[in-house]
Structure 1
Amino acid sequence: MNSYRYQAELLVKDYLLADSIIPYTSVLCGIFICKMVYDVTQLVSSANLKSYASLTNIQRVEWNNRGMSTVHAIFITVMSLYLVFFSDTFSDQLKEPVTLRSSNISNFTLGVSAGYFVTDLAMIFWLYPSLGGLEYVLHHSLSLCSIAYAMFTGEGQLYTYMVLISETTTPEINMRWFLDTAGMRRSSAYLINGVMMFLAWLVARILLFFYLFYHIYLHYNEVLQMHAFGCFLVFMVPSVLFIMNMMWFTKILKGLKKVLAKRQ
């Protein structure tokens, strides 16, 4: 057993986590995990939820897809918070420009996230527009482009992870859809989820982006040390996503006001 364990550790260290192989193995891991979570969501839902059997085929696909996106959101939020605020990778105490830092863990995490966006984007195109319209295609395309660039070049990873923290709103969005599809729109859980979604969106997709823009301003000279395309992504992607976040935030606010008015 010790011999097998030693060989397994060597396999992971020398191949799966080798610097030159990480971008590819991590993306494949992300795609495999998405497939596994999709199947598990389908299995658990069909065995334990009576309402699942009454859904249409496309609703079941979206149900399983949202289970997949929820797991990814939890994973990437936890890893992003750790790497941005708690790890030494992007610590201000280091002298190296913050825009040029990376590590095996940060590269592997980006690869797993890229695998999710590849999988989800492929499903959106395959079933278009049932799983999302042009705004979802734009959001996923920008995210995938930024993640791939940061992973392969090692540039701008800090700002990529700051943007990925906004995925913390995905579980609340998915839960809202689950409750609505299950016929629980008038339940207290639906109202509580709406309030949580509003607060999470305000913090992770509005206030956090102000902090991101301020951080870019403070480290403007370090941003300019990146390649031209990397600089373009740093300035363009967060700006476009912030505009989209504001548009969606107004819709969330209107929806919450409508629900509260009906309650009163």
Structure 2
Amino acid sequence: MQRVEWNNRAISTLHAIYIATISLYFVFWSDLYSDQFAGLITLRCSQLSTFALGVSVGYFLADLGMILWFYPALGGFEYVIHHLLSIAAVAYAMLTGEGQLYTYMVLISETTTPGVNLRWYLDAIGKKRSRAYVINGVVMFFAWLVARIILFMYLFYHFYLHYDQVKQLRSFGLFLVSVVPLVLTVMNMMWFMKIVKGLKKTMAKTQ
């Protein structure tokens, strides 16, 4: 089972690096969703943006299949909910071209995944008391704070500023861009509290 999870986390890390890089490019560097151009940003898409989301849909479907097959060894109920929400939102944005900007904003949160997986790897090889494990915990704390807390606050702020465009989405699209980030924010806060507690325990052991 440990070998299965080791391989699963390797694939997870590769996907995270891929989609986080693509997401950062589209949200912060590409002109695709820039306010400088005419047209609703909530309806903008390109062949590359749609293709990139398709890769993520494939990953989330495959990973969900593994989670259900080995349930609950690879993740509990919260992981199933996380993947179902991700599949629904990413697949909808891919198929319709709606709300891709907000989908990519959420997917930036995958930048934390390599750190989470590295922490598991260090534990698996008996390095839980190493300096690398402590550094990983500190980096994870700040990465999670930025990518899954502050970034989601920015998403809601952007949503508020562009609500005149957001409300022109179809009903299901509006539901997804409104509800999915909110649910994920709650889950991120719960996981963040666990990270804080884990970091406190690790720091206490090193003193």
TM-score band by shorter chain is: over 0.9
Deviation above 3 Å: which 4+ runs of structure 1?
none
- Radius of gyration: which is bigger? 1
Q: In the alignment, which residue of structure 1 is the partner of 2:7?
A: 64
For residues 158 and 122 of structure 1, what CA distance do their matches in structure 2 show?
A: 27
Show structure 2 runs of 5+ residues with no match.
none
CA-atom RMSD in angstroms: 0.5
Specify the alignment match of 1:10 in structure 2: none
Q: Which amino acid aligns with 1:68?
A: I
Could you list the per-position Cα deviations for residues 82-134 of structure 1 after superposition, in whole angstroms to 9, with x for gaps in the alignment?
Answer: 01111121111111111000000000000001110011000011111110010
Separation of aligned partners in 2, 1:229 and 1:238: 14
2:42 maps to 1:99: yes
TM-score between the two structures when normalised by the length of structure 2: 0.99
1:249 is the counterpart of 2:155: no
Report deviation, 1:200: 0.4
1:15-38 alpha-carbon deviations (Å, 9 max, x no partner):
xxxxxxxxxxxxxxxxxxxxxxxx
Partners of 2:138 and 2:87 in 1: how far apart?
A: 29
**Is structure 2 residue 146 aligned with structure 1 residue 203?**
yes
- Name the residue aligned to 1:30: none
Give yes or no for the alignment of 1:88 onto 2:31.
Answer: yes
Which digits, 9 at most, give the CA deviation of each residue in 1:177-224, with x for residues without a partner? 000011000000000111111110000000000000000000001001
SS in 2 for 1:241: helix
1:1-264 correspondence to structure 2 within 5 Å = 58-264=1-207
- C-alpha distance in 2, partners of 1:104/1:93? 21
Partner of 1:28: none
Higher relative contact order (CA 8 A, sep 6+): 2
Q: Structure 1 CA distance, aligned partners of 2:12 and 2:25?
A: 20
Describe the SS at the equivalent of 1:102. coil
Residue 5 of structure 1: aligned partner = none
> Matches of 2:90 and 2:48 in 1, distance apart?
14
d(CA) in 1 for partners of 2:173 and 2:91? Answer: 11
Which stretches in structure 1 are left out of the alignment for 5+ residues? 1-57
Q: TM-score, normalised by structure 1?
A: 0.78
Identity of aligned residues (%): 67
Instruction: Give distance in 1, aligned partners of 2:17 and 2:107.
Output: 11
Task: Report the secondary structure of 2:35's partner residue.
Answer: coil
Deviations 1:130-153 (A, max 9, x none): 100100000011001000000000
